[in-house]
Amino acid sequence: MSRKYNIITYGCQMNEHDSENIAGLLESMGYEHCDDPYKADVTVINTCSVRENADKRFFGTLGQFKKIRKNDPNFVLAVCGCMPQQPRVVEEINKRFSWVDIVFGTQNISEFPDLLEERLRTGRRMRSIIDNNPDINEDDMKPVRMHRHKALVNITYGCNNFCTYCIVPYTRGREKSRPLSVICNEIKSLVPDGVIEVMLLGQNVDSYRDMAGNSFADLIRAVNDIDGIERIRFMTSHPKDISDDMIECFNTCPKLCHNIHLPVQSGSDRILKRMNRHYDRSQYLAIVDKLRSVCPDITISTDIIVGFPGENDEDFEETLDIAKKVRYDSAFTFIYSPREGTPAAKFEDQIPDSVCHERFDRLVDVMNSISYEKNQEYKGKIYEVIPEGISEKDAHTISGRTDGFKLVNFTSDKSPEKLMGRKVKVMITESKTFSLEGVEVSD
């Protein structure tokens, strides 16, 4: 009987892609995926330390496996991702969670098969975490993709920016760019598999520069030339590094989707400075103007942190103001919560919870009403959508994305299997705050 694995993934698309790579490693060892983490032979928890209450949630999840191990001493529990990059977390795992067999870091993924084999052979607890590997080790990575027709492709690893609230540079090390030729070869190899859409991933894609001197704009142009690829997306941009050359790609690269995620974080220059973001509101607004003049129908989403230490009413009003000026299509809004080991966690002027929540609610109201208003513009029009799956709520509804990354739930008289992996035309019949509804009108 084949051995089974399951991976529990928290966090961002970087983590999702790491999990795809880990799945690939396990499958090359002969493991098969199973849906239930409690019934697997090996379960991997791929953690995130960015979200609020990450510690509590993570240790809570670990606790749930105590009984599984007690009933089955052969069960293997592995932990990876951003949490174990923090020494205090590993110490706590070692002290309180003896049933965690393997712990490995964000830069040790390729070692996982060896760690697992060693654990199975010797029964020893295995730990392998490095802080800042200057090399990129991608040997043997053959990801098992979550989506058949779209693929996540790393272009950089790590981050050099040290925003004062962020743990990522400490958990993922310094930035390293993969060579353009390696990225393009990977993407070319995905096409025969049915991939038509790629998401180029990096903590700050705009600072991409490989050893040959290729920039992010060069990379987009090269991917645009790959036959079989129909859509190119990327995530995440940093306003301080976005170049005119990159913005021009929206004009010159027809496969580049008209969509950008451009985190603003705050509308206050004072707070942006404390966050170490290296741009101010006028520079940010100038970038938005440039994007819209090159690509008038571009959709823009953002990240905003509310209640950063020292944020006063005036600062917050400036955030509301920039949100209204830009009129984002969507936003991820967060209440600031300190991450141990980051500079902002030591700032003395932390904002009381009640103030944070009041500001957060006001911001969400503004963002949602803008999203709703913007989505009304789609009603009655026809858009190209690439279907991604069946709606979770209704088996007769297909979900997909427009070029501008709008989520569309639509019906069709064709079978979903017939529509997957190709662009279909959808008439939008209803616009909601977070999604659109429609009917397929392709021939």
Between 168 and 288, name the residue whose CB sits nearer to ligand SF4.
Answer: 168
Between 166 and 367, name the residue whose CB sits nearer to ligand SF4.
Answer: 166
Q: Is residue 184 within 8 Å of residue 223, measured between CB atoms?
A: yes
H helices present in 123-178, as ranges? 168-172
Between 240 and 270, name the residue whose CB sits nearer to ligand SF4.
Answer: 240
Strands 299-306 and 102-104, bridge-based pairing: unpaired
Q: How far is the CB of 168 from ligand SF4 (least distance, A)?
A: 4
Reduced DSSP (H G I as helix, E B as strand, rest coil) percent helix, strand, coil of the chain, to 5:
35, 20, 40
Tokens of 263: 């985190």
Between 115 and 168, name the residue whose CB sits nearer to ligand SF4.
Answer: 168
Tokens of 79: 């932990």
Between 78 and 168, name the residue whose CB sits nearer to ligand SF4.
Answer: 168
Q: Is residue 233 within 8 Å of residue 405, measured between CB atoms?
A: yes
Order the strands of the 126-128 sheet from edge to edge: 32-33, 4-9, 42-47, 76-81, 102-104, 126-128
Q: How far is the CB of 263 from ligand SF4 (least distance, A)?
A: 7
Q: How far is the CB of 331 from ligand SF4 (least distance, A)?
A: 15
Between 161 and 442, name the residue whose CB sits nearer to ligand SF4.
Answer: 161
Tokens of 373: 């208003």
Between 52 and 377, name the residue whose CB sits nearer to ligand SF4.
Answer: 52
Q: How far is the CB of 277 from ligand SF4 (least distance, A)?
A: 7
The beta strands (E) that lie in 73-214 are given as 76-81, 102-104, 126-128, 150-154, 156-157, 176-177, 197-201
Q: Is residue 402 within 8 Å of residue 384, measured between CB atoms?
A: yes
DSSP-derived 3-state class of residue 103:
strand
The residue type of 227 is: D
Q: Report the interface residues with ligand SF4, using CB under 6 A.
A: 159, 161-163, 166, 168-169, 203-204, 238
Q: How far is the CB of 32 from ligand SF4 (least distance, A)?
A: 34
Q: Is residue 239 within 8 Å of residue 269, measured between CB atoms?
A: no
Q: Is residue 47 within 8 Å of residue 10, measured between CB atoms?
A: yes
Residue 371 zone, left/alpha/beta (φ > 0; ψ -120 to 50; rest): alpha
Q: How far is the CB of 330 from ligand SF4 (least distance, A)?
A: 18
Q: How far is the CB of 399 from ligand SF4 (least distance, A)?
A: 28
